[in-house]
Amino acid sequence: MREQAADVPELRGDCARCFGLCCVALPFTASADFAVDKAAGTPCGHLRTDHRCGIHDRLRQEGFPGCTVYDCFGAGQKVSLVTFGGEDWRAGPPERARRMFDVFPVVRRLHELLWYLTEALALPAARPVHEALRRARAEIERLTLGTPEDLAALDVGAHRREVDVLLLRASELARKGVRGRRRDRRGADLVGARLKGADLRGVSLRGALLIAADLTGADLRGADLIGADLRDADLTDADLTGALFLTQPQVRAARGSAGTKLPGSVTRPAHWTAGV
């Protein structure tokens, strides 16, 4: 068995080893996802002095489902313990705190790329590009270890475009042998689409808008879901076995059931069975 991204601790958020960076650095707007407005660089009102969330066990009930969806892919502990050497933003000068908050989103994007690259390397069919994927992963990892100044000046978009070429090729190789493969639906507007029981095996849904789509009982085995917007999509009893590049945030943003089949790279969200 090849190592999947879910098996790499460094690519999973660990709040116990972070200074609550996502609760401070990131802004949010009062909406269905957040109960209140918060400016970037301002601590959330529920953030405790120990950097833990005061309402973590009832975020959805309190109107903060957006917090339960978010995942930093391990960037929080990387910035807290490596980039800034374990120096708490609360204890230092305001300039250091601002640098930490500026760098956090950059490292988060880099760690997301590391997650995708690790997933691509777990695909046996993508062997022809494994060497290039390994080189890209090593380069992105090197970038995450840069100084705060290096990271702040980094053009992550340029690196993302280079990685995307490799990920697309890995996807094409992995989906080539999927039985019943259909046409490319990259970037398709499928908001609210009625896709109950649809055969989407091996389909590319990269960047597709599937907000509130009915995917009940749909067959998504081997489908490429990188960047697909699954907010409020109904995955009840859908089969996502072997789905490519499906992330934990995407799964948490969707609705599902005990009958939903998921790839090993993600875990079943607690709210799916709790009905929250």
Window from 2-11, 56-65, 165-174, 218-227 with minimum mean pLDDT: 2-11
Per-residue pLDDT of 177-229, as tens digits, reads 887 766 789 999 999 999 999 999 999 999 999 999 999 999 999 999 999 99
pLDDT of residue 173: 95
Q: Identify the bridge partners of residue 244 per DSSP, sorted by sequence position.
A: 224
Mean pLDDT throughout 150-156? 96
CA–CA distance, 229 with 207 (Å, rounded to integer): 7
- Please check the confidence at residue 274 and state whether its pLDDT lies above 80: no
Say if CB 52 and CB 67 are below 8 A apart: no
Say if CB 167 and CB 245 are below 8 A apart: yes
pLDDT of residue 177: 82
CA–CA distance, 232 with 99 (Å, rounded to integer): 35
DSSP string, 231-251: TT-B-TT-B-TT-BT--HHHH
Mean pLDDT throughout 227-247? 97
Percent of the chain with pLDDT over 90: 90
pLDDT of residue 1: 44
pLDDT of residue 6: 67
Per-residue pLDDT of 80-124, as tens digits, reads 999 999 999 999 899 999 999 999 999 999 999 999 999 999 999
Mean pLDDT throughout 130-143? 98
Backbone φ and ψ of 142, nearest 5°:
-60, -40
Per-residue pLDDT of 1-37, as tens digits, reads 456 666 787 999 999 999 999 999 999 999 999 999 9
CA–CA distance, 197 with 199 (Å, rounded to integer): 7
- Please check the confidence at residue 275 and state whether its pLDDT lies above 60: no
Would you report the helix, strand and coil content of the chain in percent, each value rounded to 5? Answer: 40, 5, 50
Length of the chain in residues, anyone? 276
Dihedral sign, Cα of residue 180, residue 183, residue 186, residue 189? negative
Mean pLDDT throughout 136-141? 98
